[in-house]
Amino acid sequence: MHKDLKTCTRTLYLCPAAGPISLHVDQYIRWPEAIPIPDVSSPTAVMAFQRHYVAIFGAPSIIMAGRGCSRICNKAYHPPANRMVERLHRHLKASLRAAVDPENWTYHISLVFLGIRSSFKPDVDCSAAELVFSVPVRLPGEMILPSHPGAVEDPANPLHQLRQFL
């Protein structure tokens, strides 16, 4: 196991709101989904998958699980077999480290996933969000009008804090 993965795992479990997270990636549209779950048992994982993924997209034709079920034998860490999920892990870790407050990663994860879902995928010539919704999603930075160049903003103002965050 890589040193950065060990460090990331330790810091994620030290966070008070952190628990196990079930990551899912649709193979065709590349839609990533992160579902917080209370434990890593098979019934919990199946219920989370059913409530959060199947309820939105319908039942998939094939499910590839990585060490999720005790009856499936596969290697614990084999990047070529799980390259899409490994790429998501790498992108997710880099994005969460770049956040203003990396220790409070649970606050930033939804916006990080919005960025991942709305990023352009050259192999399908659009983003995952465009494949799901048929239109480009409107990102939070597009909703705020730029302030006047000479305007001085109060740092305690929530709008100023939102602009700094975005």
> What is the predicted pLDDT for the residue at 79?
63
Report which residue type is found at 119: S
> What is the predicted pLDDT for the residue at 22?
78
Structural domains in the chain? 3-140 (3.30.420)
User: What pTM did the predictor assign?
Assistant: 0.56
Q: What token pair was written down for 141?
A: 């930075």
- Among 31, 34, 28, 22, which residue's Cα sits nearest to residue 96? 34
> What is the predicted pLDDT for the residue at 16?
45
Query: Which residues of the chain have a pLDDT value below 50?
Result: 1-2, 4-16, 68-74
> What is the predicted pLDDT for the residue at 12?
45
Task: Look at the block and give the residue holding tokens 């009856």.
Answer: 71
A 10 A CB-CB count for 93 gives 16
Residue 24 phi, psi (nearest 5): -125, 140
Run of H or E including 34:
strand 32-36
A 10 A CB-CB count for 112 gives 20
Alpha-carbon distance values, 6 to 3, 11, 13, 55, 156 (Å): 5, 9, 11, 33, 37
Predicted confidence (pLDDT) per residue in 52-87, tens digit: 777 777 777 777 766 544 444 445 666 666 777 788
